[in-house]
């Protein structure tokens, strides 16, 4: 028997939620219903109370409820939160993180899996705003079912019909059967740097390197998937922010150094960024082709990793990367000692690693050197995140 919190949105398909409650009860699940203001126009609390054999909730302002069972408890005393029908407006408010009624407050407060079964007019479902909201919600980990296609209550035809109660009930049981995600880093703060830095030469030119940021972004995502609060300080890259990651965009090494410092304290730091070793004093105006005296006076940038490893706020686990094109391990072992870090992840970047899909790394720790096989960058990230979790929880 599972406990399902069913949020019913205000759409004509709300009548089908009554059938859903009946089915779920028949299959042996406990169902507790929350109705939005709109849903009250389509179905009555009396019907749902009778079908669910439980109290029905609808108002955030029912003080008795807040005393008896606050919205936080309501959202936690369930194994799964289901929204059916999920209207366009409810999806938009969820995607925006609103909490202006009981349904959205519960959805924002829950730590349980969330499954949404949308129902709306075909144009509303296909509207770019709804597409965007659904994409956002899926990236946030909400399971959004695809609506059925067919004739709609409004007389139009297309995708937007609420999936049949049988199909929703089956999907609910499928989600309930999935193992709960393991979140061994749920109390930890991880700081990750990624991407290159750009060091301006003049208003239109800069010094850069080939780093794509992909490995660092994958690591930030993998740490967040294990439950960590992740701050990702990203140099200029064109990559989507992984789900659950707080991203701070910077351009130069000095901006990256400041952002790293501001993000402390952290339990673990993974410095993946290919920070430019040098900067120049940028010219105020665009340098002209004919400018005979053009020389770049290179100034060394701060070493963010080494400074962090020596800082009084040093994270318990400090991990650096070493991108080398020759004598990879030898350089990595030396770098680990020189920078005062715990681990170095070393890789040979003489091939297509920078910007590519895969990476073959060596993990250098106080115990020695491990050679990992060539793996997709996401797999390297997942494996490293597991190792970080094991080290922090040892
Ligand atoms: O010395 P090298 O650049 O090879 O060191 C690479 C490691 O140091 C990476 O983890 C990189 O993120 C970090 N680093 C840094 N600040 C720099 C240079 C490198 O944090 N200025």
Domain segments of the chain as ranges: 3-177, 189-392
Adjacent-strand bridge partners of 300: 278
CATH architecture of the domain formed by 3-177: 3-Layer(aba) Sandwich (3.40)
- Asked if residue 17 has pLDDT above 60, the reply is yes
Q: What residue owns the CA closest to ligand 1's atom 2?
A: 322
Region 17-39: mean pLDDT is: 98
Band the pLDDT of 63: cuts 50, 70, 90.
low
Q: For a pocket test of ligand 1, which of 219, 234, 304, 328 has the largest count of ligand atoms closer than 8 A to its C-beta?
A: 304
Q: Which residue has the tokens 């091939």?
A: 351
The number of C-alpha atoms within 13 Å of 239 and in the hemisphere containing its C-beta is 27
Over residues 182-241, the pLDDT tens digits come to: 789 988 999 999 999 999 999 999 999 999 999 999 999 999 999 999 999 999 999 999
Region 364-384: mean pLDDT is: 96
Residue 183: what pLDDT? Answer: 86
Residue 167: what pLDDT? Answer: 98
Residue 35: what pLDDT? Answer: 97
Q: Are 247 and 232 in contact (CB under 8 A)?
A: yes
Q: Say if ligand 1 is within 6 A of residue 309 CB.
A: no
Q: How much distance in Å is there from the Cα of 178 to the middle of ligand 1?
A: 40
Of the chain, the percentage scoring pLDDT greater than 90 comes to 82
Q: Which atom of ligand 1 is nearest to the CA of 193?
A: 12
Over residues 72-110, the pLDDT tens digits come to: 888 889 999 999 999 999 999 999 999 999 999 999 999
Q: Say if ligand 1 is within 6 A of residue 319 CB.
A: no
Residue 73: what pLDDT? Answer: 84
Of the chain, the percentage scoring pLDDT greater than 70 comes to 97
**DSSP states along 182-207:** P-TTTT-EEEEEESB--EEEETTEEE
Over residues 109-149, the pLDDT tens digits come to: 998 999 999 999 999 999 999 999 999 999 888 999 999 99
Q: Which of 154, 210, 262, 296 is catalytic?
A: 154
Q: For a pocket test of ligand 1, which of 273, 278, 341 has the largest count of ligand atoms closer than 8 A to its C-beta?
A: 273
Find the helix or strand (DSSP H, E) in which 376 lies.
Answer: strand 375-376
SS3 label, residue 118: strand
- Asked if residue 177 has pLDDT above 80, the reply is yes
| Tokens found for residue 288 | 């002209």
Region 261-280: mean pLDDT is: 97
Residue 65: what pLDDT? Answer: 59
Q: Alpha-carbon torsion 309, 376, 183, 138, what sign? A: positive
Q: Are 33 and 57 in contact (CB under 8 A)?
A: yes
Region 159-178: mean pLDDT is: 96
Q: What is the mean pLDDT of the chain?
A: 93
Q: How much distance in Å is there from the Cα of 232 to the middle of ligand 1?
A: 16
Band the pLDDT of 29: cuts 50, 70, 90.
very high
Strand order in the sheet with 56-57: 56-57, 30-35, 3-8, 80-86, 114-118, 143-144
| Tokens found for residue 244 | 């659950």
Q: Assign domain 189-392 one CATH number from 3.30.930.10, 3.30.750.24, 3.20.20.140, 3.40.50.10300.
A: 3.40.50.10300
pLDDT: which is higher, 106 or 296: 106
Active site residue 154: yes
Q: Say if ligand 1 is within 6 A of residue 347 CB.
A: no
pLDDT: which is higher, 253 or 349: 253
CA distances in angstroms from 332 to 197, 257, 305, 307, listed in the order given: 21, 22, 14, 18
Q: Which atom of ligand 1 is nearest to the CA of 331?
A: 4
Q: Identify which of 230, 211, 212 has the alpha carbon closest to the alpha carbon of residue 222.
A: 230
Asked if 3-177 and 189-392 have one fold, the answer is yes
CB-based contacts of 292-298 (< 8 A; 24+ apart in sequence)? 296/201, 296/207
- Asked if residue 357 has pLDDT above 80, the reply is yes
Q: 118 CB contacts (<8 Å, ≥6 apart)? A: 85, 86, 87, 88, 91, 125, 134, 144, 145, 146, 147, 160, 162
Region 35-42: mean pLDDT is: 97
- CA gap 230, 189 in Å, rounded: 6
Region 303-332: mean pLDDT is: 95
């Amino acid at each position: 028997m599972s406990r399902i919190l069913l949020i019913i949105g205000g759409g004509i398909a709300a009548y089908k939620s009554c059938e859903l409650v009946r089915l779920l009860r028949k299959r042996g699940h406990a169902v507790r219903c929350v109705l939005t203001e709109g849903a009250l126009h389509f179905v009555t609390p009396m019907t749902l109370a009778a079908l669910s054999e439980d109290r029905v909730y609808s108002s955030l302002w029912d003080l008795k409820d807040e005393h008896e069972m606050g919205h936080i408890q309501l959202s936690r005393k369930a194994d799964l939160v289901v929204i059916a029908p999920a209207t366009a407006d409810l999806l938009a408010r969820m995607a925006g993180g609103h909490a202006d009624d009981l349904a959205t407050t519960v959805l924002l407060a829950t730590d349980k899996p969330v499954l949404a079964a949308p129902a709306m007019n075909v144009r509303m479902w296909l509207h770019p705003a709804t597409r965007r909201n659904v994409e956002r919600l899926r990236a946030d980990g909400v399971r959004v079912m695809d609506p059925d296609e067919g004739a709609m209550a409004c007389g139009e035809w297309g995708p937007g019909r609420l999936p049949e109660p049988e199909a929703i009930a089956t999907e609910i049981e499928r989600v309930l059967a999935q193992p709960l995600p393991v979140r061994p880093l749920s109390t930890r703060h991880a700081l990750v740097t990624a991407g290159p830095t750009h060091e301006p030469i003049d208003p239109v030119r800069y010094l850069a390197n080939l780093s794509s940021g992909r490995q660092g972004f994958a690591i930030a995502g993998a740490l967040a998937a294990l439950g960590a609060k992740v701050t990702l300080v990203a140099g200029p890259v064109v990559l989507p922010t992984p789900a659950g990651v707080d991203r701070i965009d910077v351009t130069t090494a000095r901006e990256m150094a400041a952002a790293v410092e501001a993000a402390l304290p952290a339990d673990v730091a993974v410095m993946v960024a290919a920070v430019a070793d040098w900067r120049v004093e940028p010219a105020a105006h665009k340098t002209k082709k004919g400018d005979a005296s053009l020389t770049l006076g290179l100034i060394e940038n701060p070493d963010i990793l080494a400074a962090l490893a020596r800082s009084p706020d040093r994270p318990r686990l400090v991990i650096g990367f070493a991108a080398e094109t020759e004598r990879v391990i030898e350089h990595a072992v030396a770098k680990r000692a020189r920078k005062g870090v715990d681990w170095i992840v070393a890789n040979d970047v003489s091939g297509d690693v920078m910007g590519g899909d895969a990476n073959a790394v060596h993990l250098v720790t106080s115990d020695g050197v491990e050679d990992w096989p060539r793996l997709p960058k996401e797999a390297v990230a997942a494996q490293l995140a597991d190792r970080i979790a094991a080290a922090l929880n040892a």
